[in-house]
Structure 1
């Protein structure tokens, strides 16, 4: 065994043994934390994730992803250097939250619709909080301030798109090829003079070819989608319970106080209130706990508390990181680019919120009624709203893709006229 792997395995074994000892030392706290984690999984995560896992696999089998991929190529390739099928992942990921985009990206990779580096770029910026949690739970529930929803949304999703633009430079020297991926969607991005195509006929043809290539009937396709989605939901539930228990025993044993003290010393150096330390440490492990704690400190300006919430939502918590890592492990996609992207996303979102605090908070009242309506549903009642958001995002991306083609042709026409 490699000495580096041997040392990491030794550290992991020691950490697991220490956690087991703490669970035996605090059995009641461990039990209660496990029950809470299971309740979160069953009441919140299962109804909000499971339908999207199933629907996305069915849409892939019917070729709808290939249809959207052809339509979105003119937008996604120049902007993010990923195939148009990545637009489907972005729409689903932004609408339903983590870790849906990781699951869909691995499916695209299995179908060879994206290369390895394209998949890593894609999952890096499409992993985000879902709007219902950001609006209903954080803005309305934790902060009691519906007006905050617009500011958090702009900071969170705007910084996610910026991360996508930054990640386009990742793996720049390794251009993908059709031979490597087996799909035209993953061909190298067109040069600046190549005219991007927006063809409904080509999209329908791609959908038909993908459907014929898949060949499974609706019953078989639906059954396999449900089986694989249930398997993944079991993994997600286990990780949620594990991190819930781990955080509880670390808190009960006061080990977490060491982290609190370190962060409290660091925050004043960054011109931030030290009272935010508890929320940031909680958010390091679990996004819901950290976001809730960010609204609690008394005497801290709302601007800084909202920035802490934006940081936590974009980081996602180690629980989400473990879910994404376990999903990526099913393909050949690496976790490290995702980790770097989460760090960049967390800092970018909090910085954007602080810089744009006054204009954002002064221009979002019209957003409040819709936010309240979306955020009022939880559990299974949230599914129609999330699917509606997916359709809105997908339609918006198609319109932007068409506009990108039109603008490109206008620029090329003007350039030719000036050269003459």
Structure 2
């Protein structure tokens, strides 16, 4: 009872301080809000919307169940999750935060996952997409194209290790039918696909409409969190809370031989990954390796902004948020270690061949240019895609209410 009252007082005081800060720093809050809004409608919305819609349709048509049967012999021994986790993992890497959590929650709602399996899956399928790592961070912030390969390798290897570690989490709630020894069967996968399509008897138009509305509703929620935490981050800076928290991080960084100037970017990155990565790239006193290690942790931790998005999505089910939060800390540690370990074999090896920092080897150059070009195109056409999608969303809602 006392803890509950204490929590109530803390939450009320926090919201009151935030409201007073918005009144005290209106211009700063407005500029931070505009920054979050631009990030959402230029990059986040147009890049995530197609993946969300296609994912919903793949689930409805039974394709995910088909993939799940095929991947069961791979996903079950490694991660102790059903084969459908392979689809969630792939879509999470391709589309970025918080697609893994949304798909894990979606599969939990339809009964394809137990609660423990969903918690395991959500913990290692949420990651940054290559578009953001290469286009925004390595090229946009560091102006160093092949640094993206170090960041991406450490990020995804760290996520893989988190998945292996999370297989030991929790106790399975049900026994699966000897899936560990099950062979890959195309016929059984096709049968599962057909059963799922028949069970979901919605017409194609209804399925598409549901996919669009569900995806846009999720993205509207994501946009609200992005704007909110952009403002919160700015307010904390002006209230000198960021500097106060950074004092504790300075002790840790000093013991590791890192410059103290990285502490404020690190704290900022704990709230919002884009700002934290940008500030880290601007610390001249740190070596590029130190910047890469800090940035790797920030990308893996994913920031309280993304974690709030995930918490909101998981709250629609019985999936607990705590395993996801712990996994983000573990992922950050793994990613930083991998950035250190892979620095010599990947980055230094390229540097020794005389390749300039803003270039990559010929074999990899096309991939880096592809991610960078795609990021630029989305940033340019993003607002038009967002506005057009919102208009379609309004039309669908209008027709359903008047139909």
Normalised TM-score (structure 2): 0.88
Q: State the Cα distance separating 1:272 from its structure 2 match.
A: 2.1
Question: Which residue does the alignment assign to 2:397?
Answer: none
Supply the distance in 2 between the matched residues of 1:204 and 1:168 (Cα, whole angstroms): 28
Q: State the Cα distance separating 1:380 from its structure 2 match.
A: 6.6
Question: Which residue does the alignment assign to 2:240?
Answer: 254
CA shift in 2, pair 1:141/1:8, >3 Å: same
Is the contact made by 2:79 and 2:166 (CA closer than 8 Å) also made in structure 1? yes
Is the contact made by 1:54 and 1:229 (CA closer than 8 Å) also made in structure 2? yes
Question: Which residue does the alignment assign to 1:28?
Answer: 27
Supply the distance in 2 between the matched residues of 1:358 and 1:189 (Cα, whole angstroms): 43
Matches within 5 A, 1:342-381: 342-361=328-347, 362=349, 365=361, 366-378=363-375, 381=378
- 1:378 match: secondary structure: helix
Q: State the Cα distance separating 1:190 from its structure 2 match.
A: 4.0
Moved more, 116-125 or 354-363: 354-363
- 2:202 match: secondary structure: coil
Is the counterpart of residue 265 in structure 1 residue 251 in structure 2? yes
Question: Which residue does the alignment assign to 2:261?
Answer: 275
CA shift in 2, pair 1:247/1:10, >3 Å: same
After superposition, the C-alpha distances for 1:274-303 in whole angstroms (9 at most, x for unaligned) are: 221122011011000011111111132111
Q: State the Cα distance separating 1:30 from its structure 2 match.
A: 1.0
Question: Which residue does the alignment assign to 1:402?
Answer: none
Q: State the Cα distance separating 1:375 from its structure 2 match.
A: 2.0
Question: Which residue does the alignment assign to 2:208?
Answer: 222
- 1:377 match: secondary structure: helix
Supply the distance in 1 between the matched residues of 2:224 and 2:169 (Cα, whole angstroms): 32
Q: State the Cα distance separating 1:138 from its structure 2 match.
A: 0.8
Question: Which residue does the alignment assign to 1:165?
Answer: 164
Question: Which residue does the alignment assign to 2:77?
Answer: 78
- 1:98 match: secondary structure: coil
CA shift in 2, pair 1:225/1:249, >3 Å: same
Moved more, 346-355 or 245-254: 245-254
Question: Which residue does the alignment assign to 1:242?
Answer: 228
- 2:207 match: secondary structure: helix
Q: Structure 2: 5+ residue runs without aligned partners?
A: 351-359, 380-403
Question: Which residue does the alignment assign to 1:199?
Answer: 185
Between the two proteins, the alignment pairs up a number of residues equal to: 368
- 1:114 match: secondary structure: coil
Is the contact made by 2:68 and 2:87 (CA closer than 8 Å) also made in structure 1? yes
Question: Which residue does the alignment assign to 1:398?
Answer: none
- 1:127 match: secondary structure: coil
Supply the distance in 2 between the matched residues of 1:72 and 1:131 (Cα, whole angstroms): 23
Q: State the Cα distance separating 1:7 from its structure 2 match.
A: 2.0
Is the counterpart of residue 320 in structure 1 residue 306 in structure 2? yes
Q: State the Cα distance separating 1:101 from its structure 2 match.
A: 0.7
Question: Which residue does the alignment assign to 2:89?
Answer: 90
Q: State the Cα distance separating 1:199 from its structure 2 match.
A: 1.0
Is the contact made by 1:138 and 1:292 (CA closer than 8 Å) also made in structure 2? yes
Question: Which residue does the alignment assign to 1:102?
Answer: 101
Matches within 5 A, 1:94-133: 94-133=93-132
Supply the distance in 2 between the matched residues of 1:85 and 1:379 (Cα, whole angstroms): 33
After superposition, the C-alpha distances for 1:90-126 in whole angstroms (9 at most, x for unaligned) are: 0000001000111000000001000000000001011
Is the contact made by 1:44 and 1:379 (CA closer than 8 Å) also made in structure 2? no
Is the contact made by 2:75 and 2:85 (CA closer than 8 Å) also made in structure 1? yes
Is the contact made by 1:69 and 1:83 (CA closer than 8 Å) also made in structure 2? yes
Supply the distance in 2 between the matched residues of 1:247 and 1:10 (Cα, whole angstroms): 22
Normalised TM-score (structure 1): 0.85
Is the contact made by 2:69 and 2:188 (CA closer than 8 Å) also made in structure 1? yes
Q: State the Cα distance separating 1:379 from its structure 2 match.
A: 6.9
Question: Which residue does the alignment assign to 1:4?
Answer: 3
Match of 1:306 among 267, 292, 305: 292
After superposition, the C-alpha distances for 1:217-273 in whole angstroms (9 at most, x for unaligned) are: 111011111111121111111111111111111212322221222222321112322
Supply the distance in 1 between the matched residues of 2:293 and 2:281 (Cα, whole angstroms): 10
